Amino acid sequence: MALPVTSEQPIGILVMAYGTAAGVEDIERYYTDIRGGRPPSPEHLAELRSRYAAIGDRFPLLEITRAQSAGLEAALNRVEVGRFRCYLGMKHSPPWIADSVAQMRADGIERGVGIVMAPHWSAMSIPTYEQRVEAAVAANGGPAFSFVRSYHDHPALIELLADRVRAALEDLPADTREGATVVFSAHSLPVRTEEDGSDRCLRCHDAVCAAGCRYDAGLHETADLVARVAAVDRYTTAWQSAGRTADPWWGPPIEGLIRDLGEGGASAVVVCSVGFVADHLEILYDLDIEARRLAEEHGMAFARTEMPNADPAFTSMLADVVHRHLAEREAAIP
């Protein structure tokens, strides 16, 4: 039976991600953009190039995010063909968020939903995407946007991650599984300690933060939920991929935690990077090479959970997130 085709104007879904270098020749441009126009030092640039070389000079994030966007559009349109149209926008590389907003405007999209390919909300991250969208609309017009804030506790995401944890544990040598610890990680953030004269959280600067920091609490909540579903007793959380700035970064860093686990007699470590949803340098190098090397140096077996990437289970979960968001918006209209 043919699916119904909607005659209404499509809702535009702006799928946003951090961005990526397009290739070796684009590394300096990309990291200069991340650093607010300040190029990396020659030493830092050489180190970055060596890290990409170590993973085979692969830059998969754009291709993966395109596939996630396409999968989300297909999942959203299963009931009403053509009801949704997905667009891709990156913060630090083409296709730029502002250009995608312009394309939505040119396509006549009047209503937009922004969703970032990062499950956890942080005041130092998610709002920066929203600000780019709002600036583009303010400058040239465009759809009326609302934004998904987080989906770190969505039941389908928890089930997917739990499946990946169980599979990673099975990949360990049989004699190491009983003493294995699962480490749930997310990207570290710089610690801000300056007083700003307000009641904002000094960790995330969120005026409505209820318990220290929502990003930190979100990581712990995801870890607890996944561990419960996966029936894992030995688990903890850590922060990975800290940047090079004068500020201290959140801890414990995953490198130090792995050392501590080895010195404490753990037989194996499984890393589940719940703060990311796709393969890229922070996964393929920071975990697959650096974290693995540290674990093995400290006498532990190592496994890393497979990333969601464009798994249909993940894109179907995102579609449910969007549907729930729209339903909540509709319910809030008097």
Average pLDDT over residues 49-62: 98
Please tell me the distance from the alpha carbon of residue 251 to that of residue 240, in angstroms, as a whole number: 8
Please tell me the distance from the alpha carbon of residue 264 to that of residue 262, in angstroms, as a whole number: 5
Mean pLDDT of the chain: 91
Tokens at 314, concatenated: 């993940």
Q: Where are the beta strands (DSSP E) in the chain?
A: 11-17, 84-90, 111-116, 144-147, 180-187, 235-240, 268-273, 301-304
pLDDT classification of 215: cutoffs 50, 70, 90: confident
What was the pLDDT predicted at 192?
63
What pLDDT, in 10s, does the model give residues 217-253? 999 999 999 999 999 999 999 999 988 777 788 889 9
Please tell me the distance from the alpha carbon of residue 275 to that of residue 297, in angstroms, as a whole number: 26
Contact 281, 52 (CB under 8 A): yes
Please tell me the distance from the alpha carbon of residue 84 to that of residue 11, in angstroms, as a whole number: 5
Average pLDDT over residues 286-298: 98
Architecture of domain 155-304: 3-Layer(aba) Sandwich (3.40)
Same fold, 11-151+310-329 and 155-304: yes
What percentage of residues in the chain have a pLDDT greater than 70?
A: 91
pTM for the predicted model, two decimal places? 0.92
Report the topology of domain 11-151+310-329: Rossmann fold (3.40.50)
Domain ranges of the chain: 11-151+310-329, 155-304
